[in-house]
Every structure is written in structure tokens, then in C-alpha cells.
A = this chain, B = another copy of it.
Amino acid sequence: MAIRLGIFGYGNLGKGIETALNANKDMELKYVFTRRDPNTLSLKNKAAEVISANDVFNYQSQIDILILCGGSATDLPEQTPKLARCFNVIDSFDTHARIPEHFANVDVAARQTRHLALISAGWDPGMFSLMRLYGNAILPQGTDYTFWGKGVSQGHSDAIRRVEGVSDARQYTCPVESALEAVRSGKDPVLTTRQKHTRLCYVVLKEGADKNLVEQQIKNMPNYFADYDTTVNFISQEELERDHMKLPHGGFVIRSGVTGDNNHHVIEYSLKLDSNPEFTASVILAYARAVSRLHCEHVYGCKTVFDIAPSYLSPLSHEEIIKTML
């Protein structure tokens, strides 16, 4: 029987889940829950129903896993513990510094009601976290490096849009190729923020706005841009819509370490993604399969990608994965 899914929140990630589901024949989308007026949403998947988020608790018996697609700033810290009392849930909570607190809250909620929750699924946190763990366990004497990009940072794009005189913007985070090469060569360089990434901005100005002033305001913005080498390109709205509407992303996790008599080893994991939300959704769906199976084995509480044996992610039988992939 197919795993019955609900999507809670129909933004970029929610739509990505709907799309990525086409490749996962053992799962079925039953409901999309939205805070908007359900009549205003039109799904690509015509077999699924749109329901008001307020009514979600009426659907407990119709859903095996609820996938939470809200934001990490304010939605998930409240939604995940609340919904984990009534559903098996997965989220992609990505505020790294607040993960321990979020884990604790979700664990209590899920455990009390014998549900299973998995938090922080995606690629970072998610696959990149796994690679950091594997790398550290295999090469205890070594150094970790994470680079992001080239890809669109929605937070940085939003920050530019808040600058006076800006009508629209897209920001790409770019890894510095020479820094990557130095890491790959096993030189174990110590790298500053500026040495690891550059920021590339495409900005559409409002009529009459002062180019130089806007550029200076972006480049000097604390936290977001001041610590980076930033390039600002001014383009037209048409150019932005033609060339910058996709949400590509990716990055690199590198573990560089030594064993014995100065034998050097470099482990590198990299992602090149045309669509950040569709790839994140694809990771989440593999973990939804694992959550569904583990809950059948009476596993409860909060888990992370670290706690899931890889075999649970595959739709194939244990015999098949040993035969075809080991």
C-alpha cells in the first residue's frame, strides 16, 4: 500500500514535494494544507485535495506522514512540535544554531503520543551533515570544509529587495575556485569568510533610483554583504525574468585528513542542483519512506538524518540493495 502523504504549506518547497513525488511510486499525495483560502490554490496533482490548515487535525487517520514546508524563522519552531503530537512529521528546519532546541521540543511532543518526527532533512542540513559525520568518523585527524554555491540565496535576495530604490533582485553565492583548489590539494588552508565565497547580485532599480547609492548600501550591509567581495550588476526586469527565475544551488563538503606517516586523504561530496526546492524535496521524500517504515517498527520521538540507517531510504528490498549497490 502506498505511503499516504500530506503537505503542510504550499510555497516553493511544498510545490517541490508535489513535483518530486512523481518519481516515487510507493507514495501518494492525499492533501495539501494551506493557510490561504483553499479555493485559491490549484494543484498540479489532481488526485489530491486542498484543505485549510485550520482543519488539519481532522485528517489524522488519512495521512501516514505530514511534510512540513513552512519557514524556519517562525513557522517550524511552532508547527513541528504541535503537529508531531498528532502526525508523523518531517521538516527541513535549517537554522543550524537552534537545531538542538528544536530537536528537544519535537522529541517530547512526538514521544508522548508515540509519533515519529524527523527534523532538518534536505541537503544542508541533511546530506551535507551526513558527509561531515562520515568524514569525521573515518578521518578523525582532519579538517572540515563546506562551500556553498553557485546558487541563489533567497535570504540575501530578500535583503537586497529591502534596500531603498530596489524593485527586484537575485543574489548568487559563489564558492571561490582557488580556495576550493587549495582545499582539494590537501594544503589544509585556514580561510576567512571573504576567501571562501563571493556574492554576485542582479538588481532591478526603481525609476529615478541612484545606482551608486544602492550599490554602496548593498555592499556595506552588515552580516549579509560587508564581509564578502560583492559584485552588483544592474539589469532590467525583463532580463531578471528571462535569466534568473530558476533556483539553482549546490555546494561542496570536503574532509581533508591524514593517517600514518603523512598519508593524505581527501573526501569530497558535491551537489550541482538546477532546482534547490525540488532537490530538497527529493531528499525529504526518501526520509519520508524511512519514517513510515520505522514508525511501523515502533520507533518514536525525534530523529535526524544521523539516526536513519541508509537501507530504510530505498524502495528496494534488502536483498536487492546488497545485490545491486554494495
Q: A261: which B residues are within 8 A, CB to CB?
A: 19
Size category, A interface: 35 or more
Copies in the complex: 2
Q: A313: which B residues are within 8 A, CB to CB?
A: 133-134, 137-138
A275 interface hit (Cβ, 8 Å)? yes
A323-B100 contact, Cβ under 8 Å, with A309-B309, A310-B133 = yes
A322-B274 contact, Cβ under 8 Å, with A136-B314, A309-B307 = no
The segment from A154-162, A173-181, A215-223, A263-271 found at the interface with B is A263-271
Cβ–Cβ contact B314 & A310, under 8 A: no
Main secondary structure of the interface of A (DSSP, over half): helix
Cβ–Cβ contact B314 & A137, under 8 A: yes
CA–CA, A270 and B255, complex, Å: 11
Cβ–Cβ contact B259 & A275, under 8 A: yes
Cβ–Cβ contact A259 & B314, under 8 A: no
Q: Specify the chain B residue showing the minimal Cβ separation from A268.
A: B270
Q: Indicate with 1 or 0, residue by residue over A113-155, a CB within 8 angstroms of chain B CB atoms.
A: 0000000100001010110111011111100000000000000
CA–CA, A23 and B136, complex, Å: 11
Q: Specify the chain B residue showing the minimal Cβ separation from A316.
A: B136
5 A-B pairs within 8 Å (CB atoms) are namely: A138-B282, A138-B286, A184-B272, A265-B273, A308-B309
